[in-house]
Amino acid sequence: MFAPRPFDVAKEMVRVTRSGGRIVMGNWIPGDPTLIAQVLKTSAAYTPPPPEGFISPVTWGVEDRVRERFGAAGVPTEMIVCERATYVFRSPSPPRELFITFKQFYGPTMNAFEAASRDGRADQLAAELSQLFEKYNLAGADRTEIPATFLKVTVTKP
Average pLDDT over residues 98-105: 97
Average pLDDT, the chain: 95
The band of 110, judged by pLDDT with boundaries at 50, 70 and 90, is very high
Lowest-confidence region among 5-14, 62-71, 74-83, 142-151: 5-14
Taking the C-alpha atoms of residue 53 and residue 40, their distance in angstroms, rounded to an integer, is: 19
Average pLDDT over residues 59-72: 97
> Is it the case that residue 83 has pLDDT exceeding 70?
yes
Among 137, 113, 100, which residue's Cα sits nearest to residue 43? 113
Average pLDDT over residues 106-134: 97
Average pLDDT over residues 111-115: 97
142 burial level (CB within 10 Å; 0-12, 13-18, 19+): exposed
> Is it the case that residue 1 has pLDDT exceeding 80?
no
At residue 53, the pLDDT reads: 85
Among 46, 33, 28, 21, which residue's Cα sits nearest to residue 103? 46
Among 3, 153, 148, which residue's Cα sits nearest to residue 65? 153
At residue 4, the pLDDT reads: 64
